[in-house]
Amino acid sequence: MVDTIVFAVAAVVILAGAVGVVLSRNPVHSALMLVMTLFGMAVLFVAQDAHFLAAVQVIVYAGAIVVLFLFVIMLLGVDTAENLSTEPLAGQRPAAGLVALASVGLLAVLAVRAVQVSTGSRSVSAPLEGEPSNIATLAEVLFTDYVFAFEVTSVLLVIAVVGAVVMARRPRPDPEGDELGVERHAEAELA
């Protein structure tokens, strides 16, 4: 009973947020709607007893990634309402419509045949029974069975950070003193 109510409320919040992301004309409003969707998903995670996932969802996605989006939007000054009359990429809208239809079809198939289609079980993972706690179990699995994948992921992130620093670095000015260095720097900032 409580579960159903929580699910219904969270679903409304998620869907309203998702529709808002697409329909808002102002990028900042879109980003805020995205936060709303992420919060709704965190609530659903809590309802599934995945507390750790919910907390990380809020910390990483809402707390870091969308804040970064907002930073970029504010600093680049693209926070004015978008003009929708022109189509920047030719054929983008029909293609988007097709993909949307395909996704809806896929979801419909999954919803109608609920159990068997994708994995054969009702949820991706079985509930944890008799374990010390969800977080302890997660940590144990992460640092034993999947430690290699875990470390590779962290190496990937380090590479990304180093790459970002290299890209953002000011190029050394030419000894001849032409303006090329400045221009390249400006380009790197825009990219």
Partner 1 sequence: MSGDPLFAGGVDWVVVAFVVVKALIGFTIVMVGVIFMIWFERKVIADMQNRIGPNRAGRWGLAQTLADGIKLIFKEDLWPDKADKPVFRLAPYLSVAPAFLTFTIVPIGGVFSGGNDGAVELFGRRTWLQVADPPVGVLFLLAMSSIAVYGIMLAGWSSGSKYPLLGSVRASAQMVSYEAALGLSVVAVVLLSGSLSTHDIVAAQAGSILDWNVIATAGVPFAIFCVAATAELNRPPFDLVEAEQELVGGFHTEYSSIRFGMFYLAEFMNTITMSAIIVTLFLGGPAGPVLFGPPLIWGILWFTLKVLVFLFTFVWLRATLPRYRYDQLMDLGWKRLIPLALGWLLVIGAQRIGLDRGWDRFVTGAASLVVLTLAAVALFGAIRVAERRRQSDQFGEVVA
Q: Pick the closest to residue 54 from 46, 65, 62 (CA basis).
A: 46
Taking the complex as a whole, the smallest distance from the CB of residue 191 to partner 1 amounts, in Å, to 20
Rounded Cα distance between 42 and 184, Å, is 42
Amino acid occupying residue 151: E
Q: Judged by CB under 8 A, which of 6, 26, 48, 128 binds partner 1?
A: 26
Rounded Cα distance between 69 and 82, Å, is 16
| Residues 6+ positions from 11 with CB-CB distance below 8 Å | 40, 44
Q: Is 79 in the site for partner 1 (CB under 8 A)?
A: yes
Of 91 and 177, nearer to partner 1 (C-beta) is 177
Q: Is 122 in the site for partner 1 (CB under 8 A)?
A: no
Rounded Cα distance between 117 and 124, Å, is 12
Q: Is 133 in the site for partner 1 (CB under 8 A)?
A: yes
Taking the complex as a whole, the smallest distance from the CB of residue 167 to partner 1 amounts, in Å, to 16
Rounded Cα distance between 77 and 27, Å, is 10
Of 18 and 28, nearer to partner 1 (C-beta) is 28
Q: Judged by CB under 8 A, which of 36, 55, 138, 188 binds partner 1?
A: 55
Q: Is 158 in the site for partner 1 (CB under 8 A)?
A: no
Residue located via tokens 């054969």: 120
Taking the complex as a whole, the smallest distance from the CB of residue 113 to partner 1 amounts, in Å, to 35
Residue located via tokens 């004015």: 80
Taking the complex as a whole, the smallest distance from the CB of residue 126 to partner 1 amounts, in Å, to 19
Q: How many residues does the chain have?
A: 191
What residue ranges bind partner 1 (CB under 8 A)? Answer: 26, 28-29, 32, 35, 51-52, 54-56, 58-59, 62-64, 67, 70-71, 74-75, 79, 132-135, 170, 172-173
